[in-house]
Amino acid sequence: MLADVDPQNLMAKVGLRGHCIDCPAHRRAMLTSLTGESTDECAFDTRGLEPRQGLSLTSLPAGSLVLVRRGMVIRVRADKRGEHSVAIDALGSGGAFVVSGDGTDAQVYAVDRTLYCTLAGHTLLSDLSHDPKGLSDLHKLHSGIQYRLERLSDARGRSSVRSRVAATLCALADTLSPSLGRRLQFPAAFLQRDLAVLASTRYESICRILRDFSESGLVSHGPDGVVIGDYDKLAVL
């Protein structure tokens, strides 16, 4: 009989609350001492963003951890004069980043409706100092963040615009949602102008290149968003 009972419903009936079912940490079996076994025990603070809404990080000290539970966010870094901005990072469900605390993370915005969780750096370090597995988990998170940043940076550095766009799409597919594996379809709210900023190129160029890619069967672009049709061919452009 118990095998047929939904664990979440059973916990609700007896007055218990489990952890969030879309928790990125639990999905990857990481930072369990911080997320606990119920929402009441979780040390993270959960908040939401509407599409295109900015995420203010000024209240979070350096070293704070941000986990995306649902949706997609893009981090933009402005130059010293504040005249030009470059999207340095994009992360979806299961993605994470660490607040630098030097003001370079000030421009972060949601692509679509987003849920994210934050944890202050001092709380993180205090807890993990007593948890060897947690330290290993944090190292894995940092490695994943660094890999994502390197892939996107490499894509921006390609010599031709066509190669730059192709490499950006492949980097996003591989790193956007680490707990879900390679992601060939991006959110419908992920616009061509978002891709233009990530690939560090002009919007007009993105429109032309996506049209060419679509005619070649490499990608499709419609109401459901950008979908990669042939990853392998896209990766060698």
Q: Are 234 and 213 spatial neighbours (Cβ–Cβ below 8 Å)?
A: yes
The pTM of the full predicted model, rounded to 2 decimals, is 0.86
Cα 80–Cα 58–Cα 77 angle in degrees, nearest 5: 30
Domains of the chain with CATH codes: 18-235 (2.60.120.10)
Model confidence at 14, pLDDT cuts 50, 70, 90, reads: very low
222 DSSP β-pair partners: 225
Q: Are 71 and 113 spatial neighbours (Cβ–Cβ below 8 Å)?
A: yes
pLDDT(15) > 80: no
Give the model's pLDDT for residue 222: 82
Tell me the per-residue pLDDT of 173-229, one tens digit each, with 9 for 90 and over: 999 988 778 999 999 999 999 999 999 899 999 999 999 999 999 999 888 889 999
Average pLDDT, the chain: 85
Give the model's pLDDT for residue 153: 95
Give the model's pLDDT for residue 32: 87
Give dist(CA 168, CA 106) in Å, integer. Answer: 23
Top-confidence residue, 11 or 191: 191
Give the model's pLDDT for residue 102: 63
CB atoms within 10 A of CB 116: 25
Model confidence at 115, pLDDT cuts 50, 70, 90, reads: very high
Give dist(CA 219, CA 237) in Å, integer. Answer: 13
